Amino acid sequence: MASNPDRKMLLVAFLQASNCSNYTGSWRHPDTVPGFLDLEFYQGIAATLERGRFHLAFIDDRLAMPDRFGDSFEEAVEHGVRVVKLDLVPIITAMGLATKHLGLGATYSTTYYPPFHVARLFASLDHFTKGRVAWNVVTSLNDSEAQNFGVAEHLEHDDRYDVADEFMQATSELWDSWEDGAVLLDKQTGRFADPAKVHRINHSGESFQVRGPLTVPRSPQGHPVLIQAGQSPRGREFAARWGELLFVIYPTPEGCKAYRDDLRSRAEAAGRDPDSVRVAPAVYVVVGETEEEAQRKLEHIESLANQTDSLTLLSEVFNYDFSQHRVDEPLSDEILASMTGLRGFLDRVIGLSGTSNPSVTDFIKASGRGTLSEFPVFVGTPAQVADQLGSWFQAEACDGFVLAATHMPGAYEDFVNLVVPELQRRGLFREEYANGSLRNNLGFARP
């Protein structure tokens, strides 16, 4: 199939509300700046991304420190293993004030917040940013998060998605509870808004009772753009029903293409236009003016990794304490079945390690957690990096990329200064923002 020459890549920045990126060694990088407790840190990154015409800056979240390893936060705090996660709302508000076009995505959990709160928050942010907001819908991972919200154990994997379906139903109804045009502000007649255009939702389900209406008029985008990253069969079913921007992790373009094809057909089977879902894999980019410089940078970044960081992050993500085992001990079926964290990630570890009972070492190697090899790493000159991004994109393995940072904020500055102009020169990436909302910039319809 000939690919469409007018198709342009999506670019999303994968941010954390701290100076430790997905790559835990990142905060030790000499060029990582320490100002993560200042709003200007986030505003500076936003301005760089907007200069590079990025579609979206998205911030991940976790509602607890990674303290499952050894049932302690000591290793995590000592080594700065993603222990700081500031509240996302003031950050994206400040980033919105520093920019005009950049999309702003925040992660919110359907397991630990109520639908009314989340619907009101995103509707308010969508008004303030004139329609630039996205919500990364997650169901959370582990017991540490549960215990920060007064719950002993995190819900089982598939059950969380059942709750999430109902959550999405309720939030969608809340966003639609004010019709467009309901606000009149007619001082002559004294009519503030038309009550015939404002509705109760009377949602009553297994997990939530919400009467409505929302206390915020319908927002510029109608609904925020919905980001989702379901990988497991149940997660994919959820993503195909609700998700618009789908974030994934695949080591090869073939795997990513199979996911994209699957999600497009699932969305179509659910009555949606397959083009209303876009798939973007996470990648790291290490770029230099010359190949040698890029290689030198890569070696330095890799030298910042540390094995305990990997174990800390594995324990967090699989909701299981990996400190209980020797590194070469194969983990039993029973132990694997007790890991209630990311199912899709567990399937990936089993698949890549080539054994149905991987050891701790297999987990570290196959997951790449805490190392650069968690995501594909594109290394080289701007032309070489553009070749690698272009080959995934042109093979229709994906619709764009989620760029994770090797160091903060230098990884974004390098990408914007060196790689973006090369992608634009090749016609793979846009030169300018489209007018209007994030939905408009992504080519998604307004609900």
Interface with ligand FMN by CB under 6 A: which residues?
60-62, 107, 136, 138, 140-141, 229-232, 235, 247-249, 282, 342-345, 402
For 92, 171, 173, the CA distances from 40, given in Å and listed in that order, are 12, 32, 36
**d(C-alpha 258, C-alpha 20), whole Å:** 32
Q: Are the beta carbons of 130 and 438 closer than 8 angstroms?
A: no
Residue 254's CB: how many other CB atoms inside 10 A? 11
Which of 226, 148, 140, 209 lies closest to 174, judged by CA? Answer: 209
Burial grade of 234 (CB within 10 A; 0-12, 13-18, 19 or more): buried
Pick between residue 235 and residue 376 the one whose CB is nearest to ligand FMN.
Answer: 235
Where do we find the tokens 């400190």? 323
- 152: its two tokens: 């002993």
Residues in the chain: 447
Verify cis geometry, omega within 30 degrees of 0, for the bond prior to 115: no
Least distance (Å) from ligand FMN to the CB of residue 12? 9
Least distance (Å) from ligand FMN to the CB of residue 94? 19
**d(C-alpha 66, C-alpha 321), whole Å:** 11
- DSSP tag of 140: -
Pick between residue 235 and residue 370 the one whose CB is nearest to ligand FMN.
Answer: 235
Least distance (Å) from ligand FMN to the CB of residue 140? 5
Least distance (Å) from ligand FMN to the CB of residue 207? 18
Pick between residue 88 and residue 423 the one whose CB is nearest to ligand FMN.
Answer: 88
Q: Are the beta carbons of 154 and 143 closer than 8 angstroms?
A: yes
Pick between residue 141 and residue 286 the one whose CB is nearest to ligand FMN.
Answer: 141
Least distance (Å) from ligand FMN to the CB of residue 15? 10
**d(C-alpha 137, C-alpha 433), whole Å:** 25
Buried b (16+ CB within 10 A) or exposed e, 266-286: bbeeeebeeeebbbbbbbbbb
Buried b (16+ CB within 10 A) or exposed e, 173-189: bbbbbbeeebbeeeeee
- Using Cβ positions, the residue closest to ligand FMN within the complex turns out to be 235
- 163: its two tokens: 């709750």
Pick between residue 216 and residue 245 the one whose CB is nearest to ligand FMN.
Answer: 245
Pick between residue 107 and residue 172 the one whose CB is nearest to ligand FMN.
Answer: 107
Least distance (Å) from ligand FMN to the CB of residue 187? 45
Least distance (Å) from ligand FMN to the CB of residue 193? 36
Least distance (Å) from ligand FMN to the CB of residue 142? 9
Pick between residue 345 and residue 444 the one whose CB is nearest to ligand FMN.
Answer: 345
Pick between residue 353 and residue 440 the one whose CB is nearest to ligand FMN.
Answer: 353
Pick between residue 203 and residue 343 the one whose CB is nearest to ligand FMN.
Answer: 343
Least distance (Å) from ligand FMN to the CB of residue 95? 16
189: Cβ–Cβ under 8 A, 6 or more apart, which residues?
none
Least distance (Å) from ligand FMN to the CB of residue 345? 6
Coil, strand or helix: which one is 353?
A: helix
Least distance (Å) from ligand FMN to the CB of residue 217? 29
Which of 303, 338, 426, 272 lies closest to 30, judged by CA? Answer: 303
Pick between residue 108 and residue 429 the one whose CB is nearest to ligand FMN.
Answer: 108
**d(C-alpha 424, C-alpha 415), whole Å:** 12
Q: Are the beta carbons of 225 and 436 closer than 8 angstroms?
A: no
260: Cβ–Cβ under 8 A, 6 or more apart, which residues?
279, 396, 397, 398, 399
Pick between residue 107 and residue 219 the one whose CB is nearest to ligand FMN.
Answer: 107
Pick between residue 155 and residue 193 the one whose CB is nearest to ligand FMN.
Answer: 155
Q: Are the beta carbons of 243 and 236 closer than 8 angstroms?
A: no
Least distance (Å) from ligand FMN to the CB of residue 55? 14
